[in-house]
Each structure stands twice: as C-alpha cells, then as structure tokens.
Structure 1
C-alpha cells in the first residue's frame, strides 16, 4: 500500500516507526532516513519538524535526534491496544473487505472522532500536559493536547469541526487572530492568586515568601503580575525550578513556599522541611471551569 502514499506520508510513517519501536537511548540522523527511503532531505526535515513540534522527538546539536522520553507513555498505550486492533482488523478482513477498504474504515472512524473533541492549547510541552491532566480530572473526559503553533495552523486551515478549544489568556489573542472557522475558544485563568493563597495581613515585610515556578518565562510573568505586591513585600521572591541552588539557599528560611502541584509531585524531597507549603493547581478559575462544564454538558460547542 505504500505506493498510494505521498513521500511526506512515507517519511512520517518511518519516523513514527522509530518513535514507537526504536531505541530510546539511540541518536538518529535525518540523512539516514533520506537515504533509506530515497527522498529529498528537505522533505525529511519538514516532516521531522512537524513531529518534533508535537513532542515526539528531541533534537540535540551535533548528535542528531532522539525519542522524547516524556512521550514514552504513548508507546505503552500502543502496546496496550495493538493486540486488540490486530484482532479487529483480522475480523474485518475475514468479512471480505480488502486492505484499502479497511484503511478507509479506520480513516473514516478517525475523522468521526474529531467531532465534539475538546482540545487544550498551550505554549510549551510541560504546561501543555500539566494543563491537560488537570482538565481531564476536572471534566472527567479525554482532552487532546495541542501546542499553540499547531492550533494556529489548524485554525488557519479551518480543520477543526464541532469542537471546543480550552486555552490560557496568554494564548487567546493569538488564537483569536486566526480563528476563521468560528471555533469556540474558552480561556481559563492560570496565574495563582498569591494574595489569597497567603494571608499577607499576618506576614511581616521581612518574611521570605518563596514562589517556585515552572520555568523562567512563568517567573517573569508572575513578577509582572505581582509587581505592586513585590514593592510592598521586598522578600516576595519568584524563582524557577531550574534555579536549584538558589531555591536550596532560600527555602530553609522561607515563611511560606508556594509551588505548582506538578512541581511538588516531581520534587518532593526538595520540600521535605518546609513548614508552610502551599501547593496550587495550574488553573485558578472555578467560575470558568463551571461555565466550561455547562457548555460541554449542553453540547453547545
């Protein structure tokens, strides 16, 4: 059946084969794929760029690319369902359908699955999957993660159908600029309400309040959002989880330590001796979540 595929599709199948069945400890070269499949290296680079943006691979300068370990759960899911899929395909073929007709059936089923989907759009992988997990817990249904550039492209092409996009206010403006197909975009607040999580009436101006963020970009955003509070409380300090040495120096003397639940879950040893620990979720929008649930239940999207 490969003769019916475009070169880009064949390259994508090869790259997905590497992702699902390749060695997670090995570095691969795009030129190897171009040579093996006898396709132009630019075609390989284009397809690889698409899959890398979706999180399947990580490029390492001077070494090539490797499988993104954060996505290995997809490999486990494939192994979990591959046996069941094989049995279903055998039953369909035994019923008299040929391979092209089976492919049509699966492709049609996939297209139908896009109807009524809920997508969560964010700027980077970590935020994307933290937000997705929290939404799935809140909504009790599957949420599809989608990086901002991919969502922008799909909106430009009007390739969404009968779905709702949940996102942050930081991404909202970019999505609305290209929303040519009138898809419902639902923003939720993500900045933690530090002034309500901590009772500043009982905090002296010398007490250290340490807020550990997911990355430097989020740290800068928090600093902008709470600039007036920082002027009043000089010891309100924002640090990125990547600044481990700085955190270790400050955390032992901090009156309060605030951090994202996902950071806490993956760095519990760091918080062992913290007296007043406040763990918050990515979303801080009870009213927004309630409205989102109402929209989903009424199927208005």
Structure 2
C-alpha cells in the first residue's frame, strides 16, 4: 500500500462517513504526516501502513519527544494515528491493528483560560464604533459570549437561522449536528444594529447572502479575522491574558456553571457530545467548595 493514497482515502472516510469539518480533517492529516516523515527518515517507507509494527510506532513517539513536542500534542498525534489504523482495519486493508497497545503520554487536565464579566466588558468597550466595522465587531463579541459558539459556528451563522422572536439561534455544529442556542437580548440588539447600520451598506457576494457576519467585500469572515479582531482589542487595553474566540466560549460556560446552571443544559448549549467534556468547566475555587460542604453536608 502507498501512504499517500491511503491517507487520501482516509480523508474521504472522515468527510463522508464521519462528517468532519475540513479543519478537523487537516488536523488528522498533519498528525499522519509526522508518521510518514518518520518512516522516511528510518528508511522503511516501502513497508507501507500494513508493514508498520508497534515497536516502530513506539520509536516514532520517541522521535516526536526528542523534537520537544508536548505530551498533550503527542496524545493528539497518537489519537490521529489510531483512527487511521482503525479505518484501515475496518476496510480490511490490514489484518492487525499495530496501535492497539500504543500508549498515550499521561497529561494533566488543562483548565481553559477564562475572562471575568468585567474583562469582557472592557474588551467590548475598546471597540471603536465610529469605524464602519465597529458595530459588526461589537455584535460578533456579544454573540460569542452570549451563545458560547465555536469560531467556525460563528462565521457560518446564517440570517435564516436567527429566531429572535423566540430568543434562539440555530447552530450547525460539528459533524453537521444542529442545535438551538438561547441568545441574550443584548446580543440581539447589537446584531440588529449591525444589520441596519453596516451590513445593508455592503455589496454582498452571491455566495454570502445568507451569512450573518461579512467583511468589507461582502464575503464571509475567516477564522483568522475573528482572531485578529480580538487580539487587536486585547492589545489595545493592555490585557496580558492569552485571549482567543474560544476564551469567550470558555467564559460563557464557566459563568453559567458558577452561577448554578445545570451541567446537562450547558452541555446541550455548547454542543458537546459527551458531558465529560463539559465537566472541565466545573473548576470552582476551593473556598466555594468548602462553604458548600459546610452549608449542605449533614456532618458539618
């Protein structure tokens, strides 16, 4: 078997059968590229995926470690490689999965960076609404924080999926799964101002007529543009935190849970397949936990 052709087939499997986005597929391919680079350097490229052994995979991970790649990234690489060989086994292109006993490095649970409500207000207040795109940017950040969206969900948000009368928006998430997310009156107000003050002045590209947030050329915004908007604002107020669009999503979830929201409800709003993923937002401070114990435990 040829590595390149099998990876191409795997990409098709991820897109059609798993329904993954292009970004997710590219992440898998990037991880597999490291394996191909290793087998090239080792001189065993001619073996193909069906000739790789567990020993060689372990050697590959040692090779990755020597290049200073973090344990968390190593775990992701192993996950991508395991998925690839599982696919080959399903397609009967290999008889035995060499990754069955391949172990991932132990990694701690990394808590996401979050912003306080005051910090979010400071970032949004730094937007210059005198600039044509100012109201758009304000609407973008209010929507990110109000709804806890992924950046890909934000840039794909459609006008036809806004149900402001009911207080909901419809999101097309990972693997094309749809969900309804409540939206705040503040975000609705800022979106309506953006629609009336900025978007209606644009010459909209035919492919973007139903897309909510547009650039100056009337086309859908890119992921990079959302990152740039936030980075520029954070630098403008001198904030030292590493803030990204996902920080607003983390803050949305954390503020809800800290305020007493049901974990299952937050899972639904975030579009997490497993509630285990949502549990990372339950990082309450120790003083709060101690006070809860004192207040509610029968022995306290």
TM-score normalised by the chain length of structure 1: 0.30
Which has more helix, going by share of residues?
A: 2
Which has more strand, going by share of residues?
A: 1
Report which structure shows greater RCO (CA 8 Å, sep ≥6). Answer: 2
TM-score normalised by the chain length of structure 2: 0.30
